[in-house]
Structure 1
Amino acid sequence: MSSTEPTILLTGFPGFLGSALLERLLARGDGPVACLVQPTYRELAERRAAEIAGPDDDRIRLYEGDITEPNLGLDGLADLESVRELYHLAAVYDLAVDPAVGEAVNVRGTEHVLDVAADLAVERFQYVSTCYVSGRYDGVFTEDHLREGQSFNNAYEETKYRAEVAVQERMADGLPATIYRPAIVVGDSETGETDKYDGPYYLLRLLLAQPSRLALSVTLPGSSDAELNVVPRDFVVDAIAYLSGLESSAGEVYQLCDPAPLSVPRFVDALAEAGDRRTLSVPTPKPLARAATERLADRGLPAEPATIDYLDHPTRYACPNTQRALAGSGLECPPFESYVDRLVAFVREHPEVGDAAMV
Structure 2
Amino acid sequence: MRKILAEERSAQVRCVVQEKFWERAQEIVSALPVRDRERVTLLEGDVASMDMGLSGKEHVALAQEVQVIHHCAAATYLGVARDVAQRVNVDGVREVLELAREAKKLERLVHWSSALVSGGRRGYVLEDELQAPEGFRNVVEEMRFKGEQLVRAAMQRGLRTTILRPAILVGDSVTGEIDRFEGPYLLVLLMLSSPVDLRVPLPGRGDVPLNLVPIDYVVDAGWAIANDARSVGRTFHLVDPTPQSARRVFELIAQAAGRPLPRGFLPTNLATALLRTPGLERFAHVPRAFLEQLATEVVYDDRGARELLDPKGIKCPGFESYVDVMVSYVRAQQSAKRQRRPDSFEIEGEDEASDPLQ
| CA RMSD across the alignment | 1.9
In 1, Cα distance between equivalents of 2:327 and 2:273: 27
Residue in 2 aligned with 1:195?
A: 179
Evaluate the alpha carbon distance shift between residue 70 and residue 25 of structure 1 in structure 2; reply closer, same or farther with a 3 A threshold. Answer: same
Q: For structure 1, which runs of at least 5 residues remain unmatched after alignment?
A: 1-21
1:72 aligns with 2:52: yes
Letter in 1 for 2:133: G
Structure 1 residue matching 2:200: 3-state secondary structure: strand
- Work out the number of aligned pairs and report it: 335
| Alignment equivalent of 2:124, drawn from 119, 122, 140 | 140
Letter in 1 for 2:47: I
Letter in 2 for 1:235: Y
Letter in 2 for 1:244: A
Using the TM superposition, give the Cα deviation of residue 243 of structure 1 relative to its aligned residue in structure 2, in angstroms: 1.4
Residue in 2 aligned with 1:91?
A: 74
Letter in 1 for 2:2: E
Using the TM superposition, give the Cα deviation of residue 55 of structure 1 relative to its aligned residue in structure 2, in angstroms: 8.7
1:154 aligns with 2:138: yes
Evaluate the alpha carbon distance shift between residue 136 and residue 30 of structure 1 in structure 2; reply closer, same or farther with a 3 A threshold. Answer: farther
1:318 aligns with 2:301: yes
Using the TM superposition, give the Cα deviation of residue 338 of structure 1 relative to its aligned residue in structure 2, in angstroms: 0.7
1:269 aligns with 2:251: yes
| TM-score scaled by length of structure 2 | 0.89
1:281 aligns with 2:263: yes
* Conserved? CA contact 2:251–2:262, under 8 Å: no
In 2, Cα distance between equivalents of 1:50 and 1:240: 25
In 2, Cα distance between equivalents of 1:329 and 1:55: 27
* Conserved? CA contact 1:134–1:315, under 8 Å: no
- Percent sequence identity over aligned pairs: 35
| Alignment equivalent of 1:234, drawn from 216, 227, 236 | 216
Residue in 2 aligned with 1:112?
A: 95
Using the TM superposition, give the Cα deviation of residue 292 of structure 1 relative to its aligned residue in structure 2, in angstroms: 4.2
Deviations along 1:77-117, whole A, 9 cap, x unmatched? 23211111111001112112111110000111111111111
Evaluate the alpha carbon distance shift between residue 66 and residue 258 of structure 1 in structure 2; reply closer, same or farther with a 3 A threshold. Answer: same
* Conserved? CA contact 1:214–1:279, under 8 Å: no
Evaluate the alpha carbon distance shift between residue 247 and residue 134 of structure 1 in structure 2; reply closer, same or farther with a 3 A threshold. Answer: same
In 1, Cα distance between equivalents of 2:157 and 2:102: 15
In 2, Cα distance between equivalents of 1:157 and 1:326: 26
Letter in 1 for 2:253: L
In 1, Cα distance between equivalents of 2:247 and 2:37: 48
1:354 aligns with 2:349: yes
1:25 aligns with 2:20: no
Using the TM superposition, give the Cα deviation of residue 35 of structure 1 relative to its aligned residue in structure 2, in angstroms: 0.6
* Conserved? CA contact 1:67–1:105, under 8 Å: yes
Evaluate the alpha carbon distance shift between residue 272 and residue 52 of structure 1 in structure 2; reply closer, same or farther with a 3 A threshold. Answer: same
Q: For structure 2, which runs of at least 5 residues remain unmatched after alignment?
A: 338-347
* Conserved? CA contact 1:230–1:336, under 8 Å: yes
Evaluate the alpha carbon distance shift between residue 260 and residue 230 of structure 1 in structure 2; reply closer, same or farther with a 3 A threshold. Answer: same
In 2, Cα distance between equivalents of 1:297 and 1:211: 12
In 2, Cα distance between equivalents of 1:93 and 1:148: 18
In 2, Cα distance between equivalents of 1:301 and 1:215: 23
Residue in 1 aligned with 2:344?
A: none
* Conserved? CA contact 2:80–2:356, under 8 Å: no
Q: Which runs of 4+ in 1 moved over 4 A?
A: none
Using the TM superposition, give the Cα deviation of residue 302 of structure 1 relative to its aligned residue in structure 2, in angstroms: 6.4
Using the TM superposition, give the Cα deviation of residue 298 of structure 1 relative to its aligned residue in structure 2, in angstroms: 8.3
Deviations along 1:123-182, whole A, 9 cap, x unmatched? 210110000001111101120221242311101111111111111111011010001100
* Conserved? CA contact 2:71–2:112, under 8 Å: yes
